[in-house]
Amino acid sequence: MRTEPNIPDADGIYEAIIAANEGLSDAQSEAFLLRFALLLANQIGDQQVLLEAIKTAREMVGGNTAV
């Protein structure tokens, strides 16, 4: 899993995600993020990288996972 900076315009992406969620309820934002995550998972297309990203994200919000 790559952890060094890789997004060409980080501020621009942050801004775009915030903008895309403007006016959405929490439920809608969750729906957005789920679709966004699945679209990105397909772009990455590397099983090991995805599994590592899943594990890392889970660890950051608490606890270990069985992945």
* Footprint on this chain of other proteins (rule: CB under 8 A): 30-31, 34-35, 38-39, 42
Which CB sits closer to other proteins, 22 or 26?
A: 26
Contact (Cβ atoms closer than 8 angstroms) between residue 41 and residue 50: yes
Residue 48 C-beta: closest distance to other proteins, Å: 18
Between 42 and 48, CB nearer to other proteins: 42
Minimum distance from residue 42 beta carbon to other proteins (Å)? 4
